[in-house]
Structure 1
Amino acid sequence: MKLRSILVATAASSMLMGMSVGAQADTVKIGGLYILSGSAASYGEFASQGMKMAIDEINSSGGVLGQQMQLLMEDDQGKAATGIQAARKLVYQDNVNALVGIDSSGVALGLVPVMKELKTPLIITHAATPHATGKLCNAYTYRISVNEAQNMRAAAELAAATGKKRWTTIGPDYAFGHESWELFSENLSALSPDVEIMKETAFPRFGAEDFTPFINNIMEQKPDGVLISVWGGDLVNFVRQANNLGFFEQDYEIMFTVGAATEALAALGEQMPEGVWLGTRYWYDSHDTDINKTFVDNYKKLYKTPPSYNAEGAYSAVYAIKAAIEKAGSTKPEDIAVALSGLTINTPAAERTFRVGDNQALIGPTWGRAGPMSGDGVRSLVEIHNFDGAQVSPSLEQTECKV
C-alpha cells in the first residue's frame, strides 16, 4: 500500500475525540518520514505499521495527557532535499508535535542540521550514520536505534574471533557504505593488528540493478572475509546474483551488516544462504521478555508477518514520545525535546536510555548466523549475540557531539 502523504488515524480515535480526522485541537500529531516508494519501500511500510500499532494502542488506552494521537506519513524517497522539504511541510503546515523516521544516512546528514530551525524533536529509527548523534548533533535530534559505530564495533569483535586475516567490503556508494567500512576497519585493526584491510573494495551506487561486476571483482581478489552493507532491494538483488556466481560457495567469512532485516529475508526465503553472519538492530525472536512477546504476537496478528527492526524502532519511538510528553506535562515540541534527554523506556528490543550529551540510545545490535527456515517464512538466527549497548558505544568524547 502506498503511504505517501496520508493521514493515518483510526475511526475509533476520531469518535473518542468527537471530531474529524483532520481536526487540529486536542490532538498530538506525529510526523513519519520514511522511504515509501522504490526498491526500499518495504522498510517504510514496516515502520508505518509499527507506528500505527503503537498509536492505536495508546489511543485505546486513553491517549496521552487526555489527547489522542494521529500519524501523518511523508515519503522522503531516500533523498536529502525531499526529506528536508517533507519535514518542513510536516512542521510548518501540518503542525506536528514530533518527527519520527529516516531510513537513509544521506537524508539524515541533510536533515539533522535543519532540526535547529524546525525546533521540533526528531527520533531517528533507522539511519545509522554516527554523525547524526556525533558532530552534527543538536538538542532536537535523537536516535533510538543502533548506529554504525555501535554495530561495527560488534561486527569487528565477531570478525576478530573468526581468525580471518584479509578483509574487504561491498557496500552502497554513499555515507552508510563508506562509514560502515571505515568503522569496521578501525575496530578490527585495533582488535587484531595483524589483519589486512584490503584496498580492493566495491561500492556500487544505491539502487544499482547489476552487482555482477562488483561481485566478480571481489572474488578475483580472494579475500578471507567480506563485510557487506547493501540493504533493501539492493540486498535482495545482490544475494540472488551472488548465488548465481557461486560467491557463497567460496571459503569467505561473510558478514551482512543489516542482513537480518525481515523485509529482505522474507523476499529472499531460502535464497539467503545458511551460515553467513547477519546483523540487525533488533531480532524478534531473541528477547525473552513479556513486552517483546506481546509486541511480536500482536504484530503478527495484525500484519501476518514477524516485525522487522524498522517496525520495532518506529513502534518504540512513538512510546518514547508519549513518555516524554508525560514527563514534560506538555505537548509543545520544544518541551518534548527537552524531556527526551536522559529518558529511559522499556521496549521490545531492550531498555533504552537516550544518553545525555549526544542523545544516542545506548542499545546494542544483534548478530547471528543464518539458520534453517523458520515457521515465519524467513531464515532463523543461530549463534545469536545480543550486544550490550554501553559496551559497544563510543565515549561522548569520541562522538564529537556538542549539543
Structure 2
Amino acid sequence: MAVAALAAAGIVGSMAAQAAEDPIKLGAVYIRSGSASSYGAFAEQGMKLAIEQINDNGGVLGRQLEYEIEDSQGNSGTAIQAMRKLVYQENVDALMGIDSSGVAQGVASTVPQLQTPLIITHAATPDVTGKMCNDYVYRLSVNIVQNMRGAAEIAADSGAKRWTTIGPDYAFGRQSWDFFGQALKEKNPDAELMSETAFPRFGAEEFTPFINSIMDADPDGVLISLWGGDLVNFVRQASDLGFFDQDMEIMFTVGAATEVLDALGEQMPEGVWLGTRYWFDAYDNPTNRDFVAAYKERYDKAPSYNAEGAYAAVYAYKAAMEKAGTTDGPKVAEALSGMSFDSPMGEITFRAGDHQTLVGPTWGKAGPMDDEFGIRSLTDVHVFDGKDVTPAVEETGCSL
C-alpha cells in the first residue's frame, strides 16, 4: 500500500510538474479576411509584441506564453465555432478579441458555457457590458456610450445645430447614432436630430447614393460611424463628390484608426474630426512611451487602437493569472473583476459591476501629415477621462 501510494504520488507530482512547464495558451478571434482584415493584422502584432516581452522576462507563473488566432470573418456563427475550437481543440486558457459589435452580441451568451474568460479588445456595443453582461465577458476598450459622450461634447461646442449620420446598418452604426443623439440633446436641447439618415450595409462598396442623399438634406453636422475598408472607400468617394467641400461639421467616430489612416494617407481630408479608442501620441506615461517605441521598432509603424487593445489584454491576463495563482478559467475570470493593471492608456480597472474599463476616447482634428509614420496627425486633441463619460453601473442594465 505504501509503495502504491508513493507511486501514485510520484505520478501526480510528475503530471503537475509537466503542467507547470507547458506553455500558457491565449486564444484570439479577430477579423482576418475581407475589408476589415487590417484590424486583425494590427491586433496580432500588438498581441505578439506583448507575448515576446513577457516571455523575455520570465513568462507568467514560470511558464511561457503562446497564442492561437482564428478568423471570425465578421460573423457571429463563425466566431462561436472559432472560440469552441480554441477552447476544446487547442486547449487555450483564455480568449480575447472580437471586432464587430454584432459579433460581440452574438457570442456573449456562449462564453460562460466555455468556462473561459473573454476580454473584448475592440467591439464597442454597450450591450455586452450592459444587459448581456455575464461573469466571463470583459472589455478593456472604449465602448459606444463612452465614445459618443465625448463626441457629443465636441458637437455641442461646434455650433452645428442640425445633425444626421452615415453608419453601418447593424448594432454599431445604429447604436452610435442613438447614443450620440441622447448625449447631444443633454448638452444642447436645441440640437435637431434629422430624420434623413443613411445606413448602408456593412461591406458595401458603393456609397454614392448615400453621400448624395446626405448632401441633399443639407445638415450642419454629420456623424459618420463607418469603419475599416468601408470608411476608406467612403472617404475616397466622398472626396470625388465634393462632400468635404460642404459647410458641415464632420465627425468620424473611429476615423483615427491607424488602419484607416495608413490606407488613406493624404486622402484623409484635413480639418475633419477623428475619434479613436486610443491615440499613440496622447498618453504621456512610461508604459505608453515604451509600447510605441517597441512597436515602431518591431513593425515600423504607429500602433492602432486595436494593436494597443490586444497588447493590453495580454498584460491583463498576465496580471489576472498571477493574482489567481492559476490559469483555471473560472478563477482567472473572477480575478479580472475589479482588477487594475498598467496599460499604455495608464492604469485602468475592470469595473466589478459590469466588467467595463473606465476609459475614455480621444478626439482630434485631422492635421498635417506625420512624416515619421506617414499618416495624418491629430490637432486640437481632446482626451476624455473615462470617469466622465462612463455611465454608472445601474444605468447599464448589467446585473452580475
Q: Normalised by the size of structure 1, how large is the TM-score?
A: 0.94
Q: Which residue of 2 aligns with 1:380?
A: 377
* Secondary structure in 2 matching 1:352: strand
CA distance in 2, matches of 1:91, 1:111: 14
Q: Which residue of 2 aligns with 1:402?
A: 399
Q: CA deviation at 1:205?
A: 0.4
CA distance in 2, matches of 1:24, 1:84: 29
Q: 2:238 aligns with which of 221, 237, 242?
A: 242
Q: Which residue of 2 aligns with 1:391?
A: 388
Segment of structure 1 superposing worse, 348-357 or 242-251: 348-357
Q: CA deviation at 1:95?
A: 1.2
* Secondary structure in 2 matching 1:106: helix
CA distance in 2, matches of 1:174, 1:270: 29
- Seen in structure 2, the aligned counterparts of structure 1 residues 24 and 96 have a Cα distance that, compared at 3 Å, is farther
Counting matched residue pairs gives 381
CA distance in 1, matches of 2:37, 2:331: 32
Q: Which residue of 2 aligns with 1:251?
A: 247
Q: Which residue of 2 aligns with 1:16?
A: none
Q: 2:312 aligns with which of 311, 316, 321?
A: 316
Runs (5+) with no aligned partner, structure 1:
1-22
Q: Which residue of 1 aligns with 2:111?
A: 115
Q: Which residue of 1 aligns with 2:132?
A: 136
- For 1:314, the aligned partner's letter is A
CA distance in 2, matches of 1:264, 1:69: 30
Q: Is the 8 A contact 2:20 2:62 kept in 1?
A: no
Runs (5+) with no aligned partner, structure 2:
1-18
Matched, 1:230 2:229: no
Describe how 1:343-354 pairs up with structure 2 within 5 A: 343-354=339-350
Describe how 1:40-79 pairs up with structure 2 within 5 A: 40-79=36-75
Measured against aligned partners, the alpha-carbon deviations of 1:24-45 in whole angstroms (never above 9, x if no partner) come to 9622100010000011000000
Measured against aligned partners, the alpha-carbon deviations of 1:302-347 in whole angstroms (never above 9, x if no partner) come to 1111100000000000000000001111111111100000111111
Describe how 1:4-403 pairs up with structure 2 within 5 A: 26-375=22-371, 376-403=373-400
Q: CA deviation at 1:90?
A: 0.6
Measured against aligned partners, the alpha-carbon deviations of 1:235-286 in whole angstroms (never above 9, x if no partner) come to 1000000000000000100000000001100110111001100000000011
Measured against aligned partners, the alpha-carbon deviations of 1:333-384 in whole angstroms (never above 9, x if no partner) come to 1111000001111111222100011000000110000000002100000000
- For 1:378, the aligned partner's letter is I
* Secondary structure in 1 matching 2:96: strand
* Secondary structure in 1 matching 2:29: strand
CA distance in 1, matches of 2:123, 2:250: 22
- For 1:243, the aligned partner's letter is S
Q: Which has the higher helix share?
A: 2
Identity %: 65
Q: Is the 8 A contact 2:162 2:221 kept in 1?
A: yes
Q: Is the 8 A contact 1:248 1:273 kept in 2?
A: yes
Q: CA deviation at 1:69?
A: 0.6
Q: Is the 8 A contact 2:129 2:354 kept in 1?
A: yes
RMSD over aligned Cα atoms: 1.0
Q: CA deviation at 1:190?
A: 1.2
Q: Is the 8 A contact 1:350 1:363 kept in 2?
A: no
- For 1:170, the aligned partner's letter is I
CA distance in 1, matches of 2:67, 2:112: 22
Measured against aligned partners, the alpha-carbon deviations of 1:375-396 in whole angstroms (never above 9, x if no partner) come to 2100000000110001100111
Q: Normalised by the size of structure 2, how large is the TM-score?
A: 0.94
